A and B are shown apart, each in its own frame.
Chain A
Amino acid sequence: MTLQTMLSTMSIGMLRTCGIFALTLIGSLPLGMVVALLKKSRFAVVRGIINVYISVIRGTPLMLQLLVWYFGPFYLFGANIGGWRFPALILGFVVNYAAYFAEIYRGGIESIPVSQYEAAQVLGYSKVQTFMRIILPQVVKRIMPSATNEVITLVKDTSLAFTLAYQEVFSLAKQISASQTSFMPFLVAGIFYFVANYGVEFAMSRIEKALDYYR
């Protein structure tokens, strides 16, 4: 196998990795906010469910969660899981990362002083307006550092997709390395993750700078 064919095979894996990454963020960033808000629900039952969800997600390995999402329907209901691999994978990632983002959002929301809510209330803002116009923009600024950490972790965590034998860049590197008895694929994968995270850090620091206009 020439270096070129290896790279072209692996580039398909890189695209798939980017796909997992993007879909996970698209799903978990908003879902995390929903979870964070439900955690402050008036209803004790809702809060209870959310707390159980967050502690189960944080207390078990993502790898195990992915296996449960994929094989669960078969073992529990005898369902046919053909074609279920990719949806299970994305579901597993989204549900996992939503829990972590929810905790980040919650910390951010709780760090905004009550006086901001009161100022908004006296000015007549509705609850939704207060959250969307006054609270959320300040939350976004405050959580940028911890959100950056989480996104960088996600780039690396995409490699857990190998658990479900989904052929993203890490699975492919493992396969090619075994069949070609070469170390090269791992090096390529390593460089890929590093560059991807470099890009993430760059993008996040640009956003942070853009939010630097106020304190």
Chain B
Amino acid sequence: MILEMRNIQKQFDGLEVLKDISFDVDKGEVVSIIGPSGSGKSTLLRCATFLETIDGGEIRYMGGTAAHTDGSGHAVYVDQKELRRFRSYCGLVFQQFNLFPHYSILKNLTDAPIHVQGREKDEAEQTALELLTKMGIADKADAYPYQLSGGQQQRVAIARALAMRPKILFFDEPTSALDPELTGEVLKVIRQLAEEHMTMVVVTHEMPFAKAVSNRVIFMDGGVIVEQGDPKDVFENPQEERTKQFLRVFER
């Protein structure tokens, strides 16, 4: 298992946002998370990528425990040094891209590999250029983020995450901030990564994409996993009433 999330609980001042969520992600798996706005999808990704701390439960990466609930019922994390190792396993692509505006596209991709991972500059730049080529934006290496379209920026953000060679890549609604005509180019590169068996967890509202690309779909509502399974089953034959209701909205 790349990732194991067990009985994850998360509150924001009294408001229970994640209520006992458990799921695993196996190597090479592509998991889509769907669900209405406010159901806790982003919070779940943020807990998995250590941007939020869980209140209870267990997070395991590559068989190692990053956080668990101790005897007193509180979630405890490993120390800073260990946590950095766990962080290096996961990448996150944000809805709003969050590129570094003062760095060129190339530097957005090489700065962390060089200064966080201590890789050689030449090697980091070569890797970056290969990734940009793969994303179809090699000609933008010397541009700055503000000079790119949203779709191009998001592809840079994906390349930036991949440059760190994560074991698993999380996407939080990667196309929601894009104009409709630009979503295709971003979905295409994610699909390409799926074909290469990159382990991914994608929060998305693009149902046809989720159905076509993922190995498993998780439907979340109100901080719980209502239903999960093979995309064909979940989309064509949902078992739970809430899932049916939610999917009906997308059928038109």
Contacts and interface: CB of A to CB of B under 8 A. Distances in A.
B100 A115 contact: no
B1 interface: no
B7 to A, nearest CB: 24
B88 A124 contact: yes
A214 B107 CA distance: 13
Contacts of B15: none
B87 A134 contact: no
Contacts of B92: 122
A123 B169 CA distance: 12
B164 A123 contact: yes
A214 B117 contact: no
A137 B98 contact: no
B96 to A, nearest CB: 6
A180 B20 CA distance: 87
B204 interface: no
Interface stretch (B24-32, B108-116, B206-214, B218-226): B108-116
Interface in A128-161: 129, 133-134, 137-138, 141
B50 to A, nearest CB: 8
Contacts of B99: 119
A129 B87 contact: no
Contact of A116 (B100, B115, B144, B146): B100
A175 to B, nearest CB: 49
Contacts of B161: 122-123
Interface residues of A, number: 19
A140 to B, nearest CB: 9
A119 B87 contact: no
A135 B94 CA distance: 18
A125 B116 contact: yes
A119 B233 CA distance: 35
A118 B112 contact: no
A214 B142 CA distance: 12
A214 B146 contact: yes
Contact of A115 (B88, B98, B116): B98
Contacts of A138: 101-102
Interface string A18-44: 000000000000000000000000000
Contact of B100 (A118, A121, A122, A134): A134
A75 interface: no
A15 B49 CA distance: 56
A124 B101 contact: no
B89 to A, nearest CB: 10
Contacts of B164: 123-124
Interface string A92-135: 00000000000000000000000110111111110001000110
Interface in B111-128: 111-112, 115-117
Interface of B: 49-51, 84, 87-88, 90-92, 94, 96, 98-102, 111-112, 115-117, 144-146, 160-161, 164
6 contacts: A118-B51, A120-B100, A122-B161, A123-B112, A137-B102, A215-B144
Interface of A: 115-116, 118-125, 129, 133-134, 137-138, 141, 213-215
Given A116-B100, A214-B101, A215-B146, 4 more contacts: A124-B116, A134-B100, A137-B102, A214-B145
Q: Which A-B residue pairs are the 4 nearest by beta carbons?
A: A119-B98, A123-B112, A215-B146, A124-B116
